[in-house]
Amino acid sequence: MTERRKPVERALALPIWHGQAKAEPLGGGITNLNVLVTDAVRRAVVRIGDDIPVHQIMRFNELAASHAAHAAGVSPEVIYHEPGALVIDFVVGKTMRAEDLRRPENLDAALRLVMRAHHDIPKVLRGPALTFWVFQVLRDYAGTLREGASRHLPGLPALLDEAAELERAVGRIEMVFGHNDLLPANFLHDGNRMWLIDWDYAGWGSPLFDLGGLAANNGLDAAQEAWILETYYGRGPDADLWKRYRSMKAAAALREAMWSMVQEIHSELDFDYAAYTADYLATYREALAAARAS
């Protein structure tokens, strides 16, 4: 267990700074606490956080994935780590929004980055790594919600039945090393290129989860979805691929909704998780209807 102290104090106490260092909290995080530190040599982001078992986040896995993602050319460099703190090189650039990623040039850059992560990270990844199977995550979230007497308990049986339906529809999968959290804020653009950050949920799983998450989290339309499938697989999607993809997209939206349900009862961050849950349940319902119609 790492020492409990305020994030800024924790970040400044790390033994890596040169000269007089100053720190300020970085906003926007909805899982971790992030601090920007500037010293005489560099600017760096310090991610403060221990393991989060209710979200299957294990920091050894995040660290290994972050190192490999940098080696693969998709993420900034890891500068330092110790229990409870991960220090990443600061990228001066724009944090993407969903409307940014829907622009063709940005969507192309984002997809190429995801493809590189899937194909190149396995070549440089070292040590043990987790798997990420969204349906196991959903079942585990349901258990956490039951233990925490969540306000969402009445709806859980139906959601789990639907998740089982989607798991059957996904069927066979290929394995890649996925990011598994393709929210717009995890893409940065420095004016020259795109970066993919925050590897908390990284692990071996289906590429369809990242592709479906990219679509669900950024409001892609049907033409954009067809484009990402054709670009990723090098061929136009047939009916079978559409069905498996749409089922995984629905599962990705449900995962985000149930993630937020868990945050409602476990997180101490100042964020409106109830509204976030409602938004993603609506996204999920739309995606589920499309999957069933495939």
Give residues with Cβ within 8 angstroms of 216, minimum separation 6. Answer: 249, 250, 252, 253, 256, 283, 287
Residue for token digits 């691929």? 241
Instruction: Please tell me the predicted confidence (pLDDT) of residue 166.
Output: 98
The angle at the Cα of 167, spanning 163 to 170, to the nearest 5 degrees, equals 135
Instruction: Please tell me the predicted confidence (pLDDT) of residue 113.
Output: 98
Cα(43)–Cα(170) distance, rounded to whole angstroms? 43
Domains detected in the chain = 7-89 (3.30.200.20), 94-293 (3.90.1200.10)
225: number of CA atoms within 13 Å, CB side? 24
Instruction: Return per-residue pLDDT of the chain as tens, 294 residues.
Output: 344 468 899 999 999 999 999 999 987 666 678 999 999 999 999 999 999 999 999 999 999 999 999 999 999 999 999 999 999 999 999 999 999 999 999 999 999 999 999 999 999 999 999 999 999 999 999 999 999 999 999 999 999 999 999 999 999 999 999 999 999 999 999 999 999 999 999 999 999 999 999 999 999 999 999 999 999 999 999 999 999 999 999 999 999 999 999 999 999 888 999 999 999 999 999 999 999 999
Give the amino acid at 247: S
Distances (CA, A) of 273 to 89, 223, 284: 29, 31, 16
End-to-end CA distance of the chain: 48
Total-model pTM: 0.94
Instruction: Please tell me the predicted confidence (pLDDT) of residue 4.
Output: 47
Q: Which secondary structure element, helix H or strand E, spans residue 284, and what is its range? A: helix 273-293
